[in-house]
Every structure is written in C-alpha cells, then in structure tokens.
C-alpha cells in the first residue's frame, strides 16, 4: 500500500526501514527532545526500532493503529513518520494522530501534505469519523500543519503528557469527516 502525492508518499513501515528510521531519530535527537518524552538510550538502537516496527505491523493487522513512513518522492528517503494510534471503533470511530519530520526536511510543506494524505486514508479507506491531536502551544509549526489541514482547536488539556521530563499542557485539535472536502 502506498499513499501518493506530488512530493512524497506514505507507506506502512517495514522491518527493512528500521535502520533508516534509527538514523533519522539519532540525527534529530536534540531537535525532537523538547516535544517528546525522555527516551532511554536503547530507544535509539536498531533492535528497539525493529521491535517498534514489528509492533506497528501487528497493530496495523489488528486495526488498532496505523504507522506510516513519510518518504520523499524524488529520492525515496525516509523523512518522517505519521501514526494513528488508539483506534476506536463502534460509535466513536476515532484515532489519535502523531507525527514527526526530519529537521532537514522542514519548511517544504511535506508534513502538511502527509497529513492531507493520511486524512484521506482515514476517512475514505478505513472509515474513521474523527481524528484528534494534542500539541504543545509552543510547537507553532505543528499547530500550523493541523490548521492548514482543517483541524479545529477544541480546548486545552492541562498537564496532559510528560514531555522532556515536565508535565506539559496541550492544545487539543480535531477534525471530522464532515469538516473536509477530500
């Protein structure tokens, strides 16, 4: 499976992506740190990333989560990841959105494009109704990505996640199928 646009494509991560993913994480460690939990050293090892991809493959098969690599079309380089987690079916039909992009790829509209692709997948392919995301108020680039894709701000969750060793407030954003024209 491949979700395609002009500049990039998304596809489910495979075990063979563990090495480039590990290199991406190592290269961006200090760049990501202000927006992530404190990670143990083992997180940045090939074995851990292989295990994470294996778990993602299983989640994909179980319809409980979907993890995609973001690849630049021009050179097929892995430049980021987008994840739909905690997929809920029944009357909710919801998932939580998370994503990151290599610092070297920032400023090119790639993440906005990737989120547009994933929303199409959510609403047209796997029949979700609502996608939500939490973002720290200081992460203005991420807020812009959500707003460009039609997400609306729904509120503030105080002390929502422990990020970089501190309990951080997060702005809550969501979008439903009725909010966008695909």
DSSP string, 112-181: HHHHHHHHHIIIIIS---EEEEEE-TT-HHHHHHHHHTT-EEEEEEEEEEEETTEEEEEEEEEEEGGG--
* pLDDT tens string 123-149: 999 999 999 999 999 999 999 999 999
Q: How far apart are CA 167 and CA 170, in angstroms?
A: 10
Exposed / middle / buried, residue 21 (Cβ in 10 Å: 0-12, 13-18, 19+): buried
Residue 7 clears pLDDT 80, i.e. is over it: yes
Q: Could you tell me the domains of the chain?
A: 3-179 (3.40.630.30)
Give the per-residue pLDDT at 94: 98
What pLDDT does 180 receive? Answer: 81
Over residues 43-95, the pLDDT tens digits come to 999 999 999 999 999 999 999 999 999 999 999 999 999 999 999 999 999 99
pLDDT at 182 over 60: no
**Is residue 181 predicted with pLDDT exceeding 70?**
no
Q: Report pTM.
A: 0.95
**pLDDT averaged over every residue in the chain:** 96
Categorize the per-residue pLDDT at 9 as very low, low, confident or very high, splitting at 50, 70 and 90.
very high
Give the DSSP H or E segment for 28: none
pLDDT of residue 52: 97
């Amino acid at each position: 499976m491949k979700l395609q646009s002009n500049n990039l494509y998304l596809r489910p991560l495979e075990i063979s992506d563990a090495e480039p993913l590990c290199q991406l994480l190592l290269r961006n460690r200090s760049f990501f740190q202000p927006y992530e939990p404190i990670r143990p050293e083992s997180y940045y090892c090939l074995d851990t990333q292989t295990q994470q991809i294996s778990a993602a493959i299983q989640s994909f098969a179980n319809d409980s989560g979907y993890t995609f690599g973001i690849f630049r079309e021009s050179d097929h380089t892995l430049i980021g990841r987008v994840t739909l987690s905690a997929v809920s079916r029944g009357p909710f039909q919801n998932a939580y959105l998370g994503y990151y992009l290599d610092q070297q790829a920032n400023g090119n509209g790639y993440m906005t494009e990737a989120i547009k692709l994933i929303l199409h997948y959510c609403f047209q392919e796997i029949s979700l109704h609502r996608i939500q995301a939490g973002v720290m108020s200081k992460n203005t680039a991420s807020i812009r990505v959500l707003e460009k894709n039609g997400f609306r701000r729904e509120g503030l969750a105080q002390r929502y996640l422990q990020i970089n060793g501190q309990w951080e407030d997060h702005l809550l954003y969501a979008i439903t199928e009725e909010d966008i024209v695909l």
